[in-house]
Every structure is written in C-alpha cells, then in structure tokens.
Amino acid sequence: MSIPAESPTSCACAAAPSPGRRIAWELAELAVGYCLILAVIWTPHPLQHWLYFIALGWFIVSITLSFEGWKAMGCSVAGFWRSSWIIGVALTLAAIATFFASSLHTLHHPAGAAEWLKSFGGYTVWSLMQQLLLQGYFLARLLRIIPKANIAAFLAALVFALAHLPNPILTPLTLVWGLAACLVFIRSRNVYPLAIAHAIFGICVAVTIPANVLHNMRVGLGYIRFRPQPLHLSQSDHVVSTEAWLIAEAPTRR
C-alpha cells in the first residue's frame, strides 16, 4: 500500500510561519531593539561601550534573519528623484534658520572646509544610519503589523522622538521630522534623500542654536551630565556631536 506524497502546496504551507507567529516575532524584534537603544543612551561609560556593540550585533542579526533585499530597506536608485524635493525643503529651511541665527548673533560654525569635514563628516554618515534604522527597520516592521500606514508612520516617529529625551529641542524636532520622513518613505521607498535632508537639518540645528542651549545635541544621560561652558557667541568649540540614537556621544568626539 503506497503512502500518498504530500503536495508542494501543503509542504510550503507547513514550512511557512503562521501570521500570528510572524507578528509576535516582529514585535519582539522591535521591543528588544528599542530597549537596547535606550539602554545605550541611558548607560554611563564604560558599560555604554559594550552595550553599543551588543545593540549593533542585535540589529545586524535581526536584519539578516528577515532580510527582504536592499530595495525593501530603501537602498536603491528607484524613488530617489521622486522624493528628492525633501532635500530642497531642507536647504530652504536651513537657509532661513541661518539668516535668523546670523541676525541674532547665535551662528557658529567651523572655520574651514577641513574643520567642517572633521566636525560633520561623521554626523552625515550617522544620519544615513539613523534613517536606515527608522525606516528600514522600525517602520518596515510596523507596516507589516499595523494595517494603516499613517498610524505606523506616527508610531515610528514617536519612538524615534522618545529616544531623544530629555533634550527639549531635539525631541519635538525629531517627532516632526520622523513623521515627515516616514510618510515620504512610504510613498518613495528610498532612504537616501531622507538621509541627506536629515544631515542638513542636523547640521543647521548645530550651527544655529548655541551649544549651551542644545547641550551639544546630546540626549539621555549625556544631556543630563552636560556641563555648560561660560556663554559667549561664535565660540570655536560649538561643533555638532550627534543626535545620538544608539550612542550619546558623536563619532567625531569619541
């Protein structure tokens, strides 16, 4: 008596995880990843250093296990020009902010091209990493869990902003930017224009708002432990550190 062979369809169905199990796994990915981010932000050195690499390893493993291609993460040519207008908006707003900062004598920036690169080169790369995490990791998973894209975008922006507490300037700014960036990404599926705009906005904030007010763009424990220097305008040490999602210090100051 022969044993009936299983059909390819039944085998595929048996191998594929159930929707409930997939959602549970993605929720776990979000929870673990975000807890690690907060742990890095709120932990002092030297433990922060080790937590940073643990968080980095978690995201590498998590993304690898559920990797759907670079295009799904927004790393492709497609959609770049469709969303490139956000770069023009960032440049326009940065020019307006720079004009007012110059009028109020709060504008401060590096002296030459080499100093600009030293101060903001690392931050530009960090801007791309933040957008990859925000859209390619958090938003991508929230879109698979939540049927309404606008709600998923708002939740992604909210967790992004909460990671910038207790900085009273960066927290509301990142909420607005995070929501706008997520909505643009949903339509264009390209992270590169968002990273460029992010870098423009971040550098603009760094050079137009005094470091003593902004706490050198620190967040979490770094913001609380920041010790303001005697305030004088256009001081040379007013350089950006970072918006610090995974770390509380800038790559240029580590």
d(CA 48, CA 39): 8
Q: Tokens 């001081």 map to which residue? A: 235
Q: Is 9 part of any domain?
A: no
pLDDT at 121: 85
**pLDDT at residue 15 is higher than 70:** no
Comparing CA positions, the residue from 81, 69, 96, 73 lying closest to residue 193 is: 81
Q: Is 16 part of any domain?
A: no
Domain extent, residue 93, equals 71-253
Q: Is 174 part of any domain?
A: yes
pLDDT in tens, 115-172: 888 878 889 999 999 999 999 999 999 999 998 999 999 999 999 999 999 999 999 9
Residue 16 confidence class, pLDDT cut points 50, 70, 90? low
* Terminal alpha carbon distance of the chain: 72
pLDDT at 67: 87
What's the structural domain count of the chain? 1
Q: Is 41 part of any domain?
A: no
